[in-house]
């Protein structure tokens, strides 16, 4: 590739890099994206084994409601909504413990109804809780933000409910951020509920692979360039202002703006010279706490036995019904070979193109702390067997049907995405780390912007919808600045 100069160079072609790049290319700007992996998508990528296509991480989407879901708006603005063929599972989530099996349907009324059937005495409170959730939205955000910013989700649950088991069931979904209910910000949890649970269960027809592929093609159609297997090694600064990046394959890429979607420690400590940055800022970067990581077991199975009517797009299995204890341990760095909590997803039951004929695939995810390669090498098989045993408790036929199995550990995630500590959700959403000013898109370096699950917009992270929204905002900030310059 010949050396060229760009309006914007973006580090990383995960969902945030692709969305930001698309907005900028759509506006006629020259965009270059460096991606170290062989495929786009980051945590939302895929791999193939023996005829099976496995989704590496993200398997379900939220916030696609018309007309105001974040993702619906973004896909629509980028002109890819129809092409993606976004579909929705009737039941978004199923919660299973040894005592309960509750299906959550994608709206607050039906969710309140499902829960009220199990907890009759709390019915009025359940409806009040979901009513409060419904009020939380773009227009009321500042109101909620100032009210709940310093309050934990546990405090909100305790305001409504006495019943411990009900509170535990409502804390199951915090597996999506990996922080216990007494440490997660209420704002994060309410945003998670609104955008990912009450408006969840969406998927892309053809698998999540298609999301990255469609975004890549659209960017290229608009003149953008994506350089794969090309790691960014440096961000160049002159007179306090960003002037480009260096990548392994392309060398120096001059650009007027840079967006980094890499982790904040990588961006400010390894790609930049930290001495150029304010001491207080670097201290904050160094002290920031990453989210949990995960162990993921991918199974290719012979036969099609999983009933699409029975379970939601995502199944939360927690036999002992104690999510807080589990999240607390993992967040504190304890490994849990007893597999007290596991997420199961079955992308192929919605889309048979992901497996060979008469086969199906299954993804088992447990949140896990980051430990080094040597640790996971010695523990991998133990975890795999423990996860299989747990899975067999809800799907007894599983062991005799395994045709393909692969396991990813926290170092695998770190290697493929370069996220510090293999963090699957970027910054941990503790109350002190969700403040919009904690790690905003605008950085102390002129014309260097951030956009990823390592930035904060006040919500904390709730997966792809919030990441995409941040990318849209970063792109808009740059467009506004460039337009000002032209005028
Ligand atoms: C197991 C798992 C399950 C998940 N499930 C869901 C789900 O169902 N729904 C949901 O909404 N969210 C889910 N998430 C979270 C969601 O996938 C992420 O929050 C989101 O995809 C993050 O996107 P990003 O672009 O910010 O970061 P990333 O996806 O991490 O992308 C960053 C990209 O930058 C590249 N990169 C980094 N450094 C460099 C460098 N120096 N040079 C070049 N390239 C570089 C990486 O290779 C990567 O492609 C899940 C995540 C995981 C891991």
- Taking the CA of residue 424 as reference, the ligand 1 atom at the shortest distance is 53
CB of 455 within 6 A of ligand 1: the answer is no
pLDDT (tens digit per residue) in 263-293: 999 999 999 999 999 999 999 999 999 999 9
Both structure tokens of 54:
């496995």
β-pairing, 6-11 vs 101-105, is unpaired
CB of 262 within 6 A of ligand 1: the answer is yes
Q: What is the residue whose two structure tokens read 């696609």?
A: 64
Question: What predicted TM-score, i.e. pTM, was given to this entire model?
Answer: 0.95
Backbone torsion region of residue 142, taken as left when φ is above 0, otherwise alpha when ψ lies between -120 and 50, otherwise beta: alpha
Over range 166-188, report the average pLDDT. Answer: 90
Which of 32, 44, 419, 429 has most ligand 1 atoms within 8 Å of its beta carbon, as the pocket-test mutant?
Answer: 44
β-pairing, 314-317 vs 91-96, is parallel
Over range 102-122, report the average pLDDT. Answer: 92
pLDDT at 246: 98
Closest CA to 341 of 381, 410, 380, 387: 387
* pLDDT band at 143; cut points 50, 70, 90: confident
Residue 165 neighbours by CB under 8 Å, 6+ apart: 99, 100, 119, 321
* pLDDT band at 331; cut points 50, 70, 90: confident
- Ligand 1 centroid to residue 358 C-alpha, Å: 31
pLDDT at 459: 76
pLDDT at 2: 44
What distance lies between CA 4 and its chain's CA centroid?
Answer: 33
Cα 467 to Cα 311: distance, rounded to the nearest angstrom: 27
Contact 448, 11 (CB under 8 A): no
CB of 368 within 6 A of ligand 1: the answer is no
- Taking the CA of residue 230 as reference, the ligand 1 atom at the shortest distance is 43
pLDDT tops 80 at residue 401: yes
What is the percent of the chain where pLDDT is above 90? Answer: 74
Cα 138 to Cα 194: distance, rounded to the nearest angstrom: 11
- Ligand 1 centroid to residue 290 C-alpha, Å: 13
């Amino acid at each position: 590739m010949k050396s060229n100069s760009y309006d914007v160079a973006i580090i990383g072609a995960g969902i945030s890099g692709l969305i930001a790049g698309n907005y900028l290319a759509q506006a006629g700007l020259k965009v270059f994206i460096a991606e170290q992996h062989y495929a786009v998508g980051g945590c939302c990528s895929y791999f193939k084994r023996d005829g099976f296509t496995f989704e590496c991480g993200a398997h379900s989407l939220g916030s696609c409601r018309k007309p105001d879901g974040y993702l619906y708006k973004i896909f629509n603005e980028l002109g890819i909504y129809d092409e993606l063929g976004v579909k929705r599972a009737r039941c978004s989530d199923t919660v299973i413990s040894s005592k309960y099996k509750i299906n959550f349907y994608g709206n607050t009324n039906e969710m309140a109804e499902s829960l009220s059937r199990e907890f009759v005495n709390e019915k009025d409170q359940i409806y009040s809780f979901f009513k409060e959730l419904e009020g939380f939205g773009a227009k009321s955000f500042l109101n909620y933000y100032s009210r709940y910013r310093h309050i934990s989700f546990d405090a909100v649950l305790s305001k409504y409910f006495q019943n411990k088991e009900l509170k535990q069931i409502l804390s199951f979904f915090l597996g999506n951020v990996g922080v216990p209910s007494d440490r997660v910000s209420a704002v994060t949890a309410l945003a998670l509920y609104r955008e990912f649970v009450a408006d969840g269960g969406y998927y892309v027809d053809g698998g999540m692979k298609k999301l990255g592929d469609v975004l890549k093609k659209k960017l290229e159609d608009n003149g953008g360039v994506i350089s794969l297997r090309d790691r960014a090694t440096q961000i160049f600064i002159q007179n306090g202002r960003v002037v480009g990046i260096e990548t392994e394959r392309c060398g120096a890429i001059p650009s007027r703006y840079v967006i980094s979607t890499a982790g904040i420690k990588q961006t400010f400590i390894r790609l930049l010279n930290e001495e150029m940055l304010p001491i207080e800022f670097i201290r904050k970067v160094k002290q920031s706490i990453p989210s949990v990581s995960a162990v993921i077991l991918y199974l290719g199975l012979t036969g099609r036995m999983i009933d699409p009517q029975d379970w939601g797009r995502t199944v939360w299995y927690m036999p002992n019904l104690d999510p807080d204890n589990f999240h607390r341990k993992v967040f504190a760095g304890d490994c849990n070979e007893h597999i007290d909590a596991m997420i199961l997803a079955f992308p192929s039951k919605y889309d048979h193109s992901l497996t060979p004929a008469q086969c199906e695939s299954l993804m088992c995810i447990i949140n896990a702390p980051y430990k080094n390669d040597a640790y996971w090498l010695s523990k991998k098989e133990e975890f795999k067997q423990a996860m299989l045993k747990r899975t067999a408790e809800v799907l007894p036929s599983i062991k005799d049907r395994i045709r393909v199995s692969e396991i990813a550990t926290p170092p695998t995630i770190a290697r493929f995405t370069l996220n510090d500590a293999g963090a699957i959700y970027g910054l941990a959403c503790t109350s002190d780390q969700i403040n919009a000013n904690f790690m905003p898109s605008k950085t102390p370096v002129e014309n260097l912007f951030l956009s990823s699950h390592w930035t904060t917009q006040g919500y904390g992270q709730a997966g792809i919808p919030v990441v995409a929204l941040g990318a849209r905002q970063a792109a808009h900030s740059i467009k506004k600045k460039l337009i000002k310059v032209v005028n």
